[in-house]
Amino acid sequence: MSASPQVLILGGGIAGLATAFELHQQKIPFLLLEAGARVGGVVFSEEVDGFNIDGGPDALLIQKQDGIKLCQELGLGTRLVPTKLPRLAYVQRAGRLHALPAASVMGIPTQWGPFIKTGLFTWPGKLRMGMEMFIPKRTETGDESIGAFMRRRFGNEAVDYLAEPLLAGIHAGDVDRLSIRALFARFTETEQRFGSLLRAFRSQPRHAPSKDGAFKSLPGGLGEMITALEKALPADSIRKNTRATSVSFDGALYRVETASGELFSARTVVAATPAFVSATTLRAVAPIVAQRCGEVPYASAATVAMAFNREAVSHPLNGSGWVVPKVEKTGIMAGTWLSSKWPGRAPEGKVLLRAFFGGARDPKALEKTDAELVATALAAMRPLIGIQGDPLFTRIYRWENANAQHEVGHLDRVAAISQDLRAHPGLFITGSGFRGVGIPDCVADARTTARQVSAWLASSVS
Ligand SMILES: Cc1cc2nc3c(=O)[nH]c(=O)nc-3n(C[C@H](O)[C@H](O)[C@H](O)COP(=O)(O)OP(=O)(O)OC[C@H]3O[C@@H](n4cnc5c(N)ncnc54)[C@H](O)[C@@H]3O)c2cc1C
């Protein structure tokens, strides 16, 4: 960079890159230190034999606009594609796939018709879910797990065949540990305001489903976003293969030491690394913040992408894929039909499938060899969607400690971290470990953090 950096950003995942993008827009010189040989963190896509594969995330939630907006600012607006029709997602039960009832909010029915017809729940299960309308609202204050909330209001089947598999699929998390307040504040607010989620959701005015569905992606995979971000930033503002090991403060400047013994200094540091990494790097400079960062749990996951000729799979693949309840014990958390979910992911006459492993449910999944992961994926998928023969090729992506778990009490911890950071002016924290896990939330928080950095630099004397 021409000017010496005012900000050191640690970590070049989407959070670090979005921080950098916002700082660059504000013309604030920065240097981003990334431990790996590439930026993007868990956002990684590759093209293999005409297939476009996402190894990590593949979808941007439309409802939270910050991911979409960033793509538009990066000139990728016209490349954003909605999910293909039909927009169906399935849940596995007793060896069969059941479409999630249409007209639902995270599976909670907003109309009776599709809910009554679904084979996903037993009649006693449906009855118990319907009784939600008469369950009194919770009087205790304080956080609770999503499992406890759903069990209390909708019964066990709603947890086993809805909340548990959806949360395993989205957050690789444990439904009985994840926080309802951190992840579904809308549900607790609705309970307190209306007494019943079913009554509240059913009484809402019915909007026609959005023509674009709920998610968008990019034809080359979400890695397109990372490539565009890297191009949008000054070439000398990113240092790859540079692992930050510790941060110190000399009364005027923060100093960052790296694994190779280099020293960088700046007035401001933004730690955009996973929370457990920030727990180590910040230990000397901000011990209480570091200790709280170390308390944020993470789960590991792996994805296995498999390519087939279309005729090798007998299922119509009419939808985006399915989630697998823990009680089904198939060895995978979810399966995605990437080429039916998004346009442009597989050449004509071929299909691209993906299996998810690990999470809080199966913490030892990453100990499996590549061959074992592929064999488990095939064993889980073959009988369900009728796969003949072996894949044309496979790709395995391992994401060790990559899924931040916002468990019960998370919001209190994050509030305490924000409070503790006040004792360390010029030190900032962002990333999926804190104020939101999905890409849109990570982008939003990173950009807010960058604006706070800008305001702090403007208000403090150098
Ligand atoms: C398999 C999977 C699928 C997902 N699917 C979706 C999805 O479809 N949609 C969605 O919105 N979200 C999804 N998510 C969640 C979302 O992708 C992540 O929460 C988000 O990308 C995390 O970004 P981050 O920048 O906070 O962290 P990371 O991506 O983990 O980036 C952290 C970066 O810090 C670097 N680093 C680590 N230590 C150091 C150090 N000491 N010094 C310097 N650099 C360091 C790492 O190398 C890495 O590049 C998914 C997550 C996973 C794992």
Residue 107's CATH number: 1.10.3110.10
Share of the chain above pLDDT 90, in %: 90
**Containing domain of residue 106, as a range?**
100-203
Both 197 and 261 in one domain: the answer is: no
Q: What is the pLDDT of residue 1?
A: 41
Q: Which atom number of ligand 1 is nearest to the Cα of residue 273?
A: 34
Both 304 and 400 in one domain: the answer is: yes
Mean pLDDT for the chain overall: 95
Q: Whose CA is nearest to atom 35 of ligand 1?
A: 11
Q: Tell me which of 363, 386, 404 is where a domain ends.
A: 404
* pLDDT exceeds cutoff 90 at 442: yes
Q: Whose CA is nearest to atom 17 of ligand 1?
A: 57
Decide if 274 contacts 261 (C-beta within 8 A): no
Ligand 1 geometric centre to CA of 302 (Å): 13
Contacts of 173 (CB under 8 A, 6+ apart): 167, 299, 359, 360, 403, 405
What gap in Å lies between CA 116 and CA 306, rounded to an integer?
A: 35
Domains held by the chain: number: 3
Q: What is the pLDDT of residue 111?
A: 80
Please tell me whether the peptide bond between 86 and the residue prior to it is cis, using omega within 30 degrees of 0: yes
Both 164 and 175 in one domain: the answer is: yes
pLDDT band at 427 (very low <50, low <70, confident <90, very high): very high
Q: Which atom number of ligand 1 is nearest to the Cα of residue 433?
A: 26
The 3-state secondary structure of 272-301, one letter per residue: CCCHHHHHHHCCCCCHHHHHHHHCCCEEEE
Q: Which atom number of ligand 1 is nearest to the Cα of residue 58?
A: 8
Mutate which of 357, 439, 447, 449 to test ligand 1's pocket (most atoms within 8 Å of Cβ)?
439
Query: How many C-beta neighbours within 10 Å does residue 91 have?
Result: 25
Ligand 1 geometric centre to CA of 30 (Å): 21
Residues with CB under 6 A from ligand 1: 10-16, 33-36, 41-43, 56-59, 243-244, 272-274, 277, 281, 301, 303, 399, 402-403, 431-432, 437-439, 442
Supply the pTM of this predicted model: 0.97
Q: What is the pLDDT of residue 461?
A: 65
* pLDDT exceeds cutoff 50 at 2: no
Q: What is the pLDDT of residue 212?
A: 87
pLDDT in tens, 40-66: 999 999 999 999 999 999 999 999 999
What gap in Å lies between CA 19 and CA 14, rounded to an integer?
A: 8
Both 194 and 104 in one domain: the answer is: yes
Ligand 1 geometric centre to CA of 332 (Å): 21
* pLDDT exceeds cutoff 70 at 206: no
Both 236 and 372 in one domain: the answer is: no
356 within some domain: yes
Question: What's the maximum distance between 2 C-alpha atoms anywhere in the chain?
Answer: 68
Torsion of CA 69, 74, 77, 79, to 10 degrees: -130
Q: Which atom number of ligand 1 is nearest to the Cα of residue 42?
A: 29
Both 302 and 399 in one domain: the answer is: yes
pLDDT in tens, 306-320: 999 999 999 999 999
Q: Provide DSSP, 53-113.
A: EESS---EESSSTHHHHHHHHTT-GGG-EEPPSS--EEEEETTEEEEPPSSEETTEESSHH
345 within some domain: yes
Decide if 435 contacts 185 (C-beta within 8 A): no
Ligand 1 geometric centre to CA of 137 (Å): 36
pLDDT band at 366 (very low <50, low <70, confident <90, very high): very high
